A = this chain, B = another copy of it.
Amino acid sequence: MKYSKATNYALHTMLFLVAHTPDKPVGVQQLAERQNVSPTYLSKILTKLVKAGLIESASGANGGYRLRRKQEEISFLDIIHAIEGTASLFDCTLDHPSECLIQQEMVKAEGQMEDYLRGKMMSELAEKMRSWH
């Protein structure tokens, strides 16, 4: 079990957009270079973020991506859910999974992780960034 590289790309892109000057859209090419990933692939990932309402895109010259919400309203969980989906990490494969005890505990455990990620906003990260980089 691993987070996908797509999630990694998405998180780093969001962090960059947050740290970057607001309002001016950033093209996928620039974003892709920083992460050593092909623009077309990154584009596919960012489209998911667009559909999730986290960023917005502008076609044409001087187009690109920019934040849609304020950075203090974007959580890690928002981004991760946009990429990985919201399904549970654990699926009881047996026939009566609706009341599966194991399943229940696994979901609770996952909930702990999600709670943390839900509370972790991009603004906080950007703050730390500024004092380091």
**Residues of A at under 8 Å CB distance from B?**
1-5, 7-8, 11-12, 15, 35-36, 76, 84, 89-94, 99, 101-102, 105-106, 108-110, 112-113, 115-117, 120, 125, 128-129, 132
Q: A2-B89, A15-B101, A112-B113 are in contact. List 12 more A-B contacts (CB 8 A).
A: A1-B2, A2-B91, A3-B106, A12-B94, A12-B102, A36-B94, A76-B109, A101-B128, A101-B132, A109-B113, A112-B112, A113-B113
A–B complex contacts, Cβ < 8 Å, 25 sampled: A1-B1, A1-B2, A1-B3, A1-B84, A3-B90, A3-B106, A7-B90, A8-B91, A8-B92, A12-B94, A15-B102, A36-B93, A76-B106, A76-B109, A99-B132, A101-B128, A101-B132, A102-B125, A105-B120, A108-B116, A109-B117, A109-B120, A112-B113, A112-B115, A112-B116
